[in-house]
A and B are shown apart, each in its own frame.
Chain A
Amino acid sequence: MASGVSFWERIGFRSGGGVGDAGWGRTLGVAIVSLIYFLPVLFIIFTAFKPQELALSVPPTLSPTSFFGLIPDQFVFSPTLENFGSVFSRVMTAGGAPEATGFDRFFFNSIVIATVSVLLALVLGTLASYGFSRYPLKGNDTYLFIILTTRMLPAIVVVIPIILMFRAVGLAGSYTGIILLYTAFNLAFTIWMMKSFFDELSTDVEDAARIDGSSETKVFLKICLPQVVAGLAATFVFGLILTWNEFLFALLLTGPDTRTVPVAMNQAVASGGRGTDWTLLAAIETLFLIPVFLVTFFLQDHLLRGVTFGTVKK
């Protein structure tokens, strides 16, 4: 069976071993799997366009169009943009006028806090992982393990000392406090991930540059860093996704001015005592998904094509 035409090849899937090009046959197969995987997300996005009274209808309404008669009429709803408007301003008390909900501020907070803390962790973590990889300290593995340990305890355990600490220092409810906390929160992952990338690099080129008289700074900036761009992109995306959606620290340590969207989302959905406001939740989540979705999409090339870091193997 080693060289013969396999069943898969016969029905149109070209086999190249592992890396290589496959045709449209593969696209079709993967498209079906991907769409099924994406369905729960698609449902949330569609819910954001539903009229509120249809949110819990039986049978469930599934689609804003019938896709040329593919979906029976009973599952189709007529889309509305109303929910997106009520994310930013809506009637809070019965019979009152619409009020601003402050969500523009919460979105701004989420973007600033996540971006600054992930970038800061990336800078500090990359320097540290380069140090751990190239200039091993005495007890290097122990330090690395202690760093990993900081991610092992549930957040609830460290959060009480942090609350006390922040109150004593006046950092509670400030941008600085939550940004520093998230930076630390991301450092463990950044250091472990970036170290595995630096470890994969061949040191031959670096040594050659040193012999030619390059300074240590130059070796790092001009030789090592360009080779791990893909690792930086991957780490940035992972850090962003984790920080973007972090809930517990944000709930306990942000004030009214620095509140992030996940906390505000939880409050907006649970308030009012009428049970979950499904369409509002879906609208907030849909808007909240867009930035992180775009960043991942545009860094994707680096994420994949660039991750050929193992090409110059030791």
Chain B
Amino acid sequence: MSLTQSARPTPTLFNVSADNWRLAIVVALVVSIIAGIVLPAAVSFWLIGAMVALVAASFVVNAYRRRYYGGLLVAPAIAVLFVMNIFPLLWSLGLSFFAYQSNQQSIRFVGLNNYIKVLTNEIAAPDNWHALSNTALFVVLTVSAQMIVGFLLAMLFAKQFPLRKYLLILVLTPMMLSVVASGVFFTYYYDPTFGILSYVVNDATDGQFILMSSKAGAVAGIVFADAWMWSPFVMLLVLAGLVSVPKYLYEAAAIDRVSAWRRFWSITFPYIRGLLMLALLFRTIEAFKLADLVILLTKGGNDTMTISYHLIRIANEQNKTSEGAALSYVMLFMVIVLTNLYLYLANRRNKGG
């Protein structure tokens, strides 16, 4: 578009001007490296921070002078994300190549050893792979349960009916509970002595029912609690899509006597596909991180250890910080592959259909 074009020439590397971001990056890198080596950490931290600000300022000036509104709009968010998320991520990536324990002072470069250890070591690796396969099981079960329940709930609420507002908020409430409270209360519901579930089942069967006594029961208990809490999330996104379908499309379909099945696939589905994908994406990412409910409900017993909980044990309880970082990057790699697959499928469908 002609509005975003400009005739101003790009400055060369050695041109000292406020919009020369290339020069700013070079200066920042040199100063940061020297400061990191020479000065104490507390001083160099602020100096490096100032260098980041310098680069950011040059980007902003550059974007403003050349009317790169995109860069200008995106810059503040990227700055916050960089300081609070990407920088710590890179730090822990660096940490994964060192031998470091958070309760000791010594630090030593070990290259890829941590990765080799978490993937092939005969003591550590089987636990990791096992926790990973459990996580895969939880991802498949919880995400599909949430998608199905969330979708069905959204279909229930898709039409306007009396009191809808008040009923909808009831369904949304589980999502608002603190996981500490809901997790602790699910241990009560499942409790073999005092719990409601056992009370009801024992009454019906005259036996002693203990849900958490087998792996299947423990997994079912965790999946049920997680799906109960997060199906409303899927429901809200799907519902947003369902409400946005123009009414006249259904009227046209009614005139043409289109079957309910066809009507769903050719009218409703295109409107909710994008939001379904978004729900699927975010729920899968969250399901990979499932740890709190497992900690509260089984403490990893009955073969329900997930990779995320395993990671908390390694990094926090056993203080093996750098091994934990290595394992989490293996995990990140898997999530990235999976996410890219989703995005690829979503884009291909968008272009094809």
Contacts and interface: CB of A to CB of B under 8 A. Distances in A.
Contacts of A24: 161-162
Interface string B150-168: 0001001111111111011
Contacts of A18: 158-159, 242, 245, 250, 263, 267-268
A277 B240 CA distance: 39
Interface in A13-51: 16-24, 26-27, 29-31, 33-35, 37-38, 40-41, 43-44, 47
A309 B69 contact: no
B178 A37 contact: no
B288 interface: yes
Nearest to B193: A58
Interface string A144-168: 0111111111111110111001001
Interface residues of A, number: 112
A78 interface: no
Nearest to B167: A34
Looking at chain B's contact residues, the main secondary structure is helix
Range class of the B interface residue count: 35 or more
Given A34-B167, A153-B89, A245-B178, A17 B254 contact: yes
Interface string B312-328: 10011000010011001
A98 interface: no
B77 A124 contact: yes
B220 interface: no
Given A27-B163, A135-B4, A152-B335, A281 B184 contact: yes
A99 interface: no
Contact of B171 (A37, A152, A297): A37
Interface string A105-149: 000000000000000000011011011101111000001011111
Interface of A: 1-3, 16-24, 26-27, 29-31, 33-35, 37-38, 40-41, 43-44, 47, 56-60, 124-125, 127-128, 130-132, 134-137, 143, 145-158, 160-162, 165, 168-169, 180-181, 183-185, 187-189, 191-193, 196, 210, 216, 230, 234, 238, 241, 244-245, 247, 261-262, 265-266, 269, 276, 278, 281-282, 284-285, 288-289, 292-293, 296-297, 300-301, 303-305, 307-311
